[in-house]
Amino acid sequence: MNFMDTIKRSLGFEDSEPGERQNRSYNPNGPARRKYQSQNNFRPSGTRPPRFDDVEPIIPEQPFYEIVLIRPKTIDDINYVVDQVIEEKNPVIIDLSFLQNESPSNFKLAGEKIKQMRTNYGAQALLLSRTDDKNLIMVSPKKVTLVKKN
Q: Between 131 and 60, where is the model more confident?
A: 131
CATH topology for the 68-140 domain: Translation Initiation Factor IF3 (3.30.110)
Task: Give the C-alpha distances (Å, rounded to integers) separating 134 from 3, 49, 109, 124.
Answer: 54, 57, 18, 20
6 confidence band (pLDDT: 50, 70, 90):
confident
State the DSSP H helix or E strand holding residue 138, giving kind and residue range, or none if neither. strand 135-140
Query: Do the beta carbons of residue 125 and residue 81 sit within 8 Å?
Result: no
DSSP 58: P
> Mean pLDDT, to the nearest integer, of 94-116?
92
How long, in residues, is the chain?
Answer: 150
23 confidence band (pLDDT: 50, 70, 90):
very low
In degrees to the nearest 10, what's the CA dihedral of 47, 25, 7, 56? Answer: -60
Task: Give the C-alpha distances (Å, rounded to integers) separating 119 from 81, 100, 102, 113, 125.
Answer: 16, 23, 27, 10, 11
Pairing of strands 92-95, 135-140: antiparallel
What is the per-residue pLDDT for 108?
A: 93
What is the per-residue pLDDT for 122?
A: 93
What is the per-residue pLDDT for 22?
A: 46
Domain ranges of the chain: 1-56, 68-140
Look at residue 125 and give its three-state secondary structure: strand
